[in-house]
């Protein structure tokens, strides 16, 4: 398996623009998580899905952020409009069924909003 795939790896955009981050989880995994990592706040859970259904989005900073999972092999995190304070590394992670609870992280998308 190729692991969790995220695209793009780097994104530089101007304030006010829409940004879409993409994630392909490991095949067969039924949980998908979106995290944001910054120096100031560490690793923050934004939202997670179980079987493509959003379960908890309480970590989403504000209405400018939205996430979707239209099928088991694809998820997006969208920021519209983007702001400089959204600059961070965004990780997607997936987890398989059963009782192992191990999360598999993608390589992350480094977002810079100027």
Partner 1 sequence: AQSVTQPDIHITVSEGASLELRCNYSYGATPYLFWYVQSPGQGLQLLLKYFSGDTLVQGIKGFEAEFKRSQSSFNLRKPSVHWSDAAEYFCALQTRPGGSYIPTFGRGTSLIVHP
Other CB atoms within 10 Å distance of the CB of residue 42: 9
Query: Any contact of residue 30 with partner 1 (CB under 8 A)?
Result: no
- Interface residue with partner 1 among 75, 108, 111, 113 (CB under 8 A) is 108
Q: Is 42 in the site for partner 1 (CB under 8 A)?
A: yes
Which listed residue (82, 91, 94, 113) binds partner 1 by CB under 8 A? Answer: 91
Q: How far lies 81's CA from each of 13, 34, 63, 64, 65, in Å?
A: 11, 19, 10, 6, 9
Phi, psi of 85, deg, nearest 5: -70, -5
107 binds partner 1 (CB under 8 A): yes
Binding region for partner 1 (CB under 8 A) = 4, 31, 42-43, 45, 48, 56, 91, 93, 99-108
């Amino acid at each position: 398996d190729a692991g969790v795939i995220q695209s793009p790896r780097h994104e530089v955009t101007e304030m006010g623009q829409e940004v879409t981050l993409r994630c392909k989880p490991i095949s067969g995994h039924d949980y998908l998580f979106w995290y944001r990592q910054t120096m100031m706040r560490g690793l923050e859970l934004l939202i997670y899905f179980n079987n493509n259904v959003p379960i908890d989005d309480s970590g989403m900073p504000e209405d400018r952020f939205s996430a979707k999972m239209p099928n088991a092999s694809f998820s997006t995190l969208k920021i519209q409009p983007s702001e400089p304070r959204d600059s961070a590394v965004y990780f997607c992670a997936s987890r398989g069924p059963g009782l192992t609870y191990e999360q598999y992280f993608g390589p992350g998308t480094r977002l810079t909003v100027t």
